[in-house]
Each structure stands twice: as structure tokens, then as C-alpha cells.
Structure 1
Amino acid sequence: MGAKKYPVCIYRKQAGYMQVDKYKNYTPTAFLKDRDFLRWQLFNNKEDALFWNDVIEKNPGLRLLIEEAIILYKENIRFNDFNMSDPEISECIISLQNQIRHKKKKRNSKRIVLGISAIAACIAIIISLPLLFNKDNDVQDISTFARAIPDNNDLYSSDTKLIVSENNTVILNNSESTIQYEEDGIKADDNHILKEESAPYNQLITPYGKRSVITFSDGTKAWVNAGSKLVYPAEFSKGKREIYVDGEIYIEVSEDKKRPFIIKTRQMDIEVLGTKFNVSAYETDKINSVVLLSGSVSISSNTRKKDIILKPDQMYSGNENSHTVQSVDASIYILWTQGLYQFESEELANIVTRLERYYGIRIECDPDISGLKCSGKLDLKDNMHKLLEELSQALPITYRQNTDGSYTINAIS
């Protein structure tokens, strides 16, 4: 029997549409059959948290019952594939029933346990949640999910972080970490994570001073520059492949004509089938850029009526209001993956920003000289002192290292 398709429900996001009082007579198992409760546990977003806080405030007697329901949810609802056939659903129900029976005997607990009918209802409700577990859709719009992530200054951390779920963050200490998504799990430096432990969306946070290389589940490979955040599904859907980027990556996309690869940023979407290109899209930068090495890419934006198609050795530069496309030597723009930085008539302010990110060291530049332009190549394997010395030989500037390890650049007096 083929995979069973389930209709998509419309979830009413606004708490005002929900009936808080309906939960007065709920039991823990009743909560596990409530799609709003399940959505709260699955996504744990701010809106749902506020709503359920309101439920508890208006019905204080429900607090212990809700806590019981959360415990039951975490112990028993652990599926990661809800695009299942009827026999597969039945098998999961039997498995869950056996697990719960075993836990009950082992602990001799008086805790309420899920019966087979409640489990079946839970599965049916979870499958019908909007855009959650139908693999033909993403769990949630990736841009909405990425932008809702709170900014907790992880980019200033000393370690790279791979967030595979709410309760599982893998700390990577290497200066250049390697992450690979394989059929049986996730390899991250010396760590191995089971895919069952992964949430629908994963996050890779590469702080200033660090770099990463990630191979996605489809074989697409991306080099991640310092100060970058990536959000992506642990497993791409059947219809498309999407990731969200805040920062800079060089990416080699595995060709799949049936599934376009889309990179989303704050300002633009880039769609490809199979190609090699560099994206610089730090949300703190005014200008974002795309440089194409091979293949073709289509760049779209909400502020433009027509998409822009790039050819090899072309660079797109733009913001929300304007853009340019020019011919370049594309190979220059990916030298950072080899520890080199080459620039042509680049403003000192931009050079300083790139060095700050790459090394994770703060550099204060006198605004009066920030517009000075320079051309050259820097070896990023050298220390900061040597690089600034080389810049001071090309420009009328001087520099000093401060007691806190930062640097200050001024004009020669």
C-alpha cells in the first residue's frame, strides 16, 4: 500500500480564536489528543507559550495535568516519519502500547498511560497538523522559523554550535568543523548523532573566528564562513530543498532536476538545480551578493517584479531597493575557503569587517579613513598583526593593539 496522504488543517494562530475554557475538564490523555497542545510541544514558539500560560493562569487546577501530559508526550510520542501507510501506523501503535506497558510494570507507577485508542488519535491528529509531518511539505516555512530564533550572541562564542533539537546542542571546538548528514545519522567532528534525535529543522552557528564545512542529506556541500548562521531540514522534502542563510557560504549543489535547491536570506531567494556559487548575505550588511562560478541561478526578491538570472563569472550585488550585475573573476570570491582573501579596489571598512569576522577580533577603524581603497591578497593563515602590517604598507594608516586584544586603526598623523 502506498503512503497515505492526509489533508492539511488550518491552524488558527491567534489566541483570541481559541477557547481557553474548553480545557477545564481535560485529562492528560485529552491534552495528547488536542492539536494545539501538540503544536506547542512540537514547536515551542512564543505565541503558543503565551497562549498556554494564559490557559494555566485562568485554570490553575490544570497545571499538574498539563505537566503530566507533557511528561507522557515526551516519553511516548517519538515519531519522525508521519508519511506512513496504514500497516506502518498500526505497527507504531502496537510498539507504543508495548513500551508503555513495559514502563508501567517496571516503575509500578500510578501515572495515567495512553491506551491504544488515544495513541491512534494522537497519530491521526499529528499527521493532520498543518505543514508538520507530511514530507511533501516542510515542517514550517523556513524563513519564518529562522527569523523567530532569538539572537543570543552565539556568534561571539568561542565554539561552533550544531543545534539538532531543543534539548540537544552539539559543541564543536575545532577551528574548522566538519558536519555530514548521512543515512544512519549525523557526524559532527568526533560526534555521532542519531537522526531520530533530530528536530525537523537544525541550526549551524559558526561564530566569528571559526569556519565550517557541511554536507547536507542530498550530498550538497557548503563551506560556511565566520559569523554565519544556517537553518536547514535534517532531511530535505520530496518536492524541494531549502536552507536559510545569515552570513556567507560557498556552496556546491547536487543536481536534482525534480527538486530545486533554494537558499533564502533576509533580502532574496536564490534558486538553482545544480551549480557552484558564493552567497554573502549577512543580515548586518547593507549589501548582499551572489557570485556564480558554474551553472545558473535565479535571484528573486519581494521588491522586484522580475527575477535576475546570473551567468558564470557574474556577480549580483544589491539591497532591498536596488541592485547591480557585473562581470567578475568568480574564483577570487571563494578564496576564503582556502584561507586567502583577495580584493580589488575594496574600501578599508569592508576589509576590516571581513578580518573581524574571520579572526573573531574587534578592529576599530577611524571613520575618516574607512573609505580608503586598496587592492591586494592577504593570507588568512597569518596572524592579525602581520595582516595589519601589510595593509599599513599599502595605505597611509597606522595601527595598535589594545590591552583587551582588539586593534585600532588611524590615519598617519
Structure 2
Amino acid sequence: MDNKEYKEYTAADFLNDPDFLLWCLDPDKREDLFWSEFPANHPETFAEFRKAIQTVGSVRLNNFTLEEGEKAELYDSIMSDYRALCSRRRLLRRRLFALAAAAVVAAGVVVPALLGVFRPPTETDASPARASEIRLISGRQSEHIASESASIECAPSGEVRINGRKIASAKPARMNRLVVPEGKRADITLSDGSRVWINSGSVFTFPAAFGEGERRVSIEGELYIDVTPDPERPFIVHNALFDTRVLGTSFDVNAYCDSNRPASVVLVHGAVEITTGDGEQVQLESNDMFSLKAGNYTVVKVDPSQYVSWKDGLFTFSSGTLERVIAQIAAYYRVEIVCDPDVRELCCSGKLVLFDDLSDTLDVLSDILPINCRIEQRPDGTRAVCVTARTN
């Protein structure tokens, strides 16, 4: 812990640092002394350090009421677990973290006697599935970013900085591609001040700097964007199925190349206009979700937080099923997951932290639900996950 290089740490780096998380959730004296003195010893990272603390502090257990008998049963269960785990400090800490980050309540119901198979999005020439590092591609230059997340800033002059480090300037009119592989995320501040978060397994195409006309970017995968208002220069997010046109607003676009899932737009606030490939125009208001599949679309009201929390490294669920949780994990890590019918309808509410390593996320899920998750390596080099009911 003392030997780590924290000089260039971002909030995302802190949230992926086991020492920092353990201090937030279950500190001992040594950790408390180190992190309490951290702001004074590392003033250059204080803003990101504070942001990470606020993020951890925002994660709370869901509120729900139990009958007295249920409370007694829950207490006995907790004490039984505590006695079994008190001699195993490491596992106890992981459970504490799991409880703080993902309060999941499980209840089994009757389900169809079929296995649920969730397949990763189809690979394309952009190949985020084949990449192991985040890549920024500009013309013939390709900048590989070894960190688990990347924060990129673009200036109107074409200057680009990655995690605070300046790289060679690009021509303002040149289109760049940001490739984000499975299990990683990136955020980018565009030349007009608009901020974009790019999800796992995505390719984001954007100009080094916007010109005087409309501002146009494209996405294959998922992004969340907070657009800087400019009535003279409308902002357009393009994907293979539709265009989303805005003047100034925040929304999420999910457009993976996967015929098994609908493409969607979730509008957090403001107003947008969607133009489908058939030329049909659809107006959205705050809290609207537009979904398009097989040429047909729907618009429904939703809680946007359940669809955009991934940008903060979390999945948020409210009375959802394990089937839905597994589907989102499969899409995020671009891995096939086979779910046993005995557990598909387990009810899940809370927040699940997305670790960089799939196995860590599955470990947390296994700790708080009566399931086993087994990762299998296939002969072709791909991975598959089997989720079954816990038998012991």
C-alpha cells in the first residue's frame, strides 16, 4: 500500500483499489492512519480521492420492512455466517464489501424448464472483443492505454490528453476511434465540453475537434453523454439503426451489434429526437426509454438510474430477476453465460460493483446469492460461465 504510485490516480482507480475499498468499508488502525493522512501526503489527487469517497458513500442498502419472525431468522443466519467466517478475515471482508455494494434479496419461484443462454454481442471489424487494452486510434497512429479505465480530454486545437498525459495533436477534422474492450470503461471530454462515458465492448467515433456545423459522433455499443448546449450546432449520435438529435441534454444510447437485444435510448433529462433507418421520427421526454428491435419500436417510462449507473462502475437493480442481472453481466464482459432454470427468477434489488476481472464480480454475486458460478475455458480460447443453484 505504501509503495503504490498514487500521483496519477483517478476516482475510478481508487474505486478499483482493494486497499482503498477495504479502508472505506472495514478499516483497521494501519489503514485508517494511512488513508486519513493521504490528502496531506498526496494533494495532487485530493479531488479524485474525495470523488471516490463520495461514490462509495452513495452506495447504500435498500430499505425494506421485515416481520419480527423474519428479523429473528435473518439475525440467526447472520450470526451463523459470522461464527463460520470470523477466522477467515479475507472472505469476511469480501462479504462486507458485497453487502455494502450489492444488497440482493433472493426468493425462488417456478420457472420454465429450459436453460437461459445469454450470448455476447457479435464481433465486428472494430473488434473490441479481441482487444485487451483501451485503444485510441487516429489515422495510422494507435495509442494503447494499459490502465483499467481511461479519461481523455480533447481541446478545440486538436490536442489530446489521456489520463492527464499529452499525446501528439491530431488534425481537428480527423475522425478518431476509441475502442473499449470487455470489462473496461472510458470517459472523454469532447472539444465542445460535452462529456461522454463509453461502456465495455464499445467503439466510439468522434472528431478531434468540432467544426462550425452540426456536431456528429457515432457509437457501436453503449455510451452515456452529457451534451453541452449549443442551439447553433445540434448534436447527433449515430448508430447503425437510428440517429439521436439533441441541443443539450443527458441520455444513454445502447446499440450493440446483437440481434438478441433491442437497441435503446434512455433520456435522463431534456429532449431528443430519434430518426430511425426508415425515416420515422420519435420525440422523447425525460425518463422515456425508446427501444427498437426488428424494425418495431416502443417508448415507455423508466427509472433512468437503473440504465445509466454502469458509468459509475455499478449495475443497479430494483426487484429485477437474476436472469436480467446475468444478461447485463454477459453483455458487459462479452461472455456467454448459461443460467440454470432453478435460479433464473431469483429476485434481485440493489447495486452490484463491476470489477475489472469477471471472476471478482462473480465471486461477489456468489457470496450474496445461493448460486455457484463456474468459468469454463473453451478450446477456441473463449470463456463461458455456468450459473447453478448452490447445493451446500
Deviations 1:329-369 (A, max 9, x none): 223322112222113454545432422344x3734314757
Alpha-carbon separation, structure 2, partners of 1:240 and 1:251: 16
Deviation at 1:197, TM superposition (A): 5.6
Deviations 1:232-288 (A, max 9, x none): 121223110111111111100000101110001111110000001111111125301
Residues 380 and 363 (structure 1 numbering): CA distance in 2 closer, same or farther, change over 3 Å? farther
Partner of 2:243: 269
1:1-400 to structure 2, matched below 5 A, reads 151=125, 153-165=127-139, 167-184=140-157, 185-189=159-163, 191-196=165-170, 200-285=174-259, 286-303=261-278, 305=280, 307-344=281-318, 346=320, 348-358=322-332, 360=333, 362-366=335-339, 368=341, 372=345, 374-381=347-354, 383-389=360-366, 392-393=369-370, 397-400=371-374
Deviation at 1:226, TM superposition (A): 0.6
Alpha-carbon separation, structure 1, partners of 2:170 and 2:247: 29
* Paired residue type of 1:322: N
Deviations 1:73-106 (A, max 9, x none): xxxxxxxxxxxxxxxxxxxxxxxxxxxxxxxxxx
Partner of 2:103: none
Which has a greater percent of helix?
1
Residues 344 and 267 (structure 1 numbering): CA distance in 2 closer, same or farther, change over 3 Å? farther
Alpha-carbon separation, structure 2, partners of 1:163 and 1:349: 36
Residues 150 and 326 (structure 1 numbering): CA distance in 2 closer, same or farther, change over 3 Å? closer
| Percentage of identical aligned residues | 29
Alpha-carbon separation, structure 2, partners of 1:158 and 1:317: 30
Deviations 1:280-338 (A, max 9, x none): 11112530111111110111102353x11111111111224211111112233221122
Residues 288 and 373 (structure 1 numbering): CA distance in 2 closer, same or farther, change over 3 Å? farther
Query: Is 2:156–2:192's contact at 8 Å kept on the other side of the alignment?
Result: no
* Paired residue type of 1:334: V
Which has a greater percent of strand?
2
Alpha-carbon separation, structure 2, partners of 1:271 and 1:223: 18
Query: Is 2:237–2:244's contact at 8 Å kept on the other side of the alignment?
Result: yes
Q: Name the TM-score, length of structure 2 as normaliser.
A: 0.59
* Paired residue type of 2:297: H
* Paired residue type of 1:279: V
Deviations 1:116-140 (A, max 9, x none): xxxxxxxxxxxxxxxxxxxxxxxxx
Alpha-carbon separation, structure 2, partners of 1:150 and 1:412: 37
Deviation at 1:381, TM superposition (A): 4.5
Deviation at 1:198, TM superposition (A): 6.9
Moved more, 293-302 or 398-407: 398-407
* Paired residue type of 1:182: A
Alpha-carbon separation, structure 2, partners of 1:189 and 1:302: 37
Residues 197 and 348 (structure 1 numbering): CA distance in 2 closer, same or farther, change over 3 Å? same
* Paired residue type of 1:235: A
1:239 is paired with a residue whose SS is: coil
Residues 270 and 212 (structure 1 numbering): CA distance in 2 closer, same or farther, change over 3 Å? same
Alpha-carbon separation, structure 2, partners of 1:317 and 1:387: 31
Q: Name the TM-score, length of structure 1 as normaliser.
A: 0.57
Alpha-carbon separation, structure 2, partners of 1:402 and 1:154: 21
2:245 is paired with a residue whose SS is: strand
Structure of higher RCO (CA pairs closer than 8 Å, 6+ residues apart): 2
Root mean square deviation of aligned Cα = 2.8
Alpha-carbon separation, structure 1, partners of 2:234 and 2:343: 40
Deviations 1:177-222 (A, max 9, x none): 0111013411112542333467721000000011000111111100
Q: How many residues align?
A: 259
Residues 315 and 370 (structure 1 numbering): CA distance in 2 closer, same or farther, change over 3 Å? farther
